Chains A and B, each alone.
Chain A
Amino acid sequence: DQQVKQNSPSLSVQEGRISILNCDYTNSMFDYFLWYKKYPAEGPTFLISISSIKDKNEDGRFTVFLNKSAKHLSLHIVPSQPGDSAVYFCAARASGGYNKLIFGAGTRLAVHP
């Protein structure tokens, strides 16, 4: 049972434009969400997070939006840069779940000049 879903395996965006990565979840007990970026043969790198009490969080070029009623979150990258090309994972943590993260399958982002 996939509790966290990233339905787009890949996304191609032109440099300078906006990249929007989407994530859906099914478990109502999730109260904390994170986005990680991963390059091949490396561990995931933390990007940004959001608590379920918020609907938006910004950090530089990265903004995460949370729509609790739709059980949907998205990561916006503006402007996109070639160095952003990587696999992006959405992760969720349940209330009382300590540090157990449930990951989506990932979306491969390619930013081309």
Chain B
Amino acid sequence: KAGVTQTPRYLIKTRGQQVTLSCSPISGHRSVSWYQQTPGQGLQFLFEYFSETQRNKGNFPGRFSGRQFSNSRSEMNVSTLELGDSALYLCASSGGGTSDTQYFGPGTRLTVL
């Protein structure tokens, strides 16, 4: 089975712009979660989508949003980028059950200048 894929792998934006990141889960997985990794805050949960519905959300401002499509692919959007949004954004997929393991993609490295 192919793993979780994320595009693009690297992205450079300037302050004030917006960005969209994409995640394709493992085939058959219905849950997609997004995480942000920074040197200062570590790995932090952004939100989770299951069957096109957001069912959990972390403590991030409304500039961070996401959606999931009927094929379980997910996108994450960050509007009005700030320097502090520079991070590795990771997507993880799972079957969606409470004991299902989450498998991570390679991440998208976002740099905001």
Which residues on A are within 8 Å of B, measured CB to CB?
A: 32, 34, 36, 41-46, 49, 51, 89, 91, 93, 97-106
Residues of B contacting A49 with CB < 8 Å?
101
List B14-72 residues whose CB lies under 8 Å from chain A.
31, 33, 35, 42-45, 48, 50, 55-56, 58
Q: Are A105 and B99 in contact (CB under 8 A)?
A: no
Residues of B in contact (CB 8 Å), total 29
Q: Are A43 and B104 in contact (CB under 8 A)?
A: yes
Q: Are B104 and A45 in contact (CB under 8 A)?
A: yes
B109 within 8 Å of A (CB atoms): yes
Given A43-B4, A43-B105, A105-B42, A100 and B33 contact (CB-CB distance below 8 Å): yes
Q: Are A44 and B90 in contact (CB under 8 A)?
A: yes
List B58-113 residues whose CB lies under 8 Å from chain A.
58, 88, 90, 92, 94, 96, 98-107, 109
Q: How far is the CB of A51 from chain B (nearest CB, A)?
A: 7
Q: Are B56 and A100 in contact (CB under 8 A)?
A: yes
A105 to B45, CA, bound (A): 13
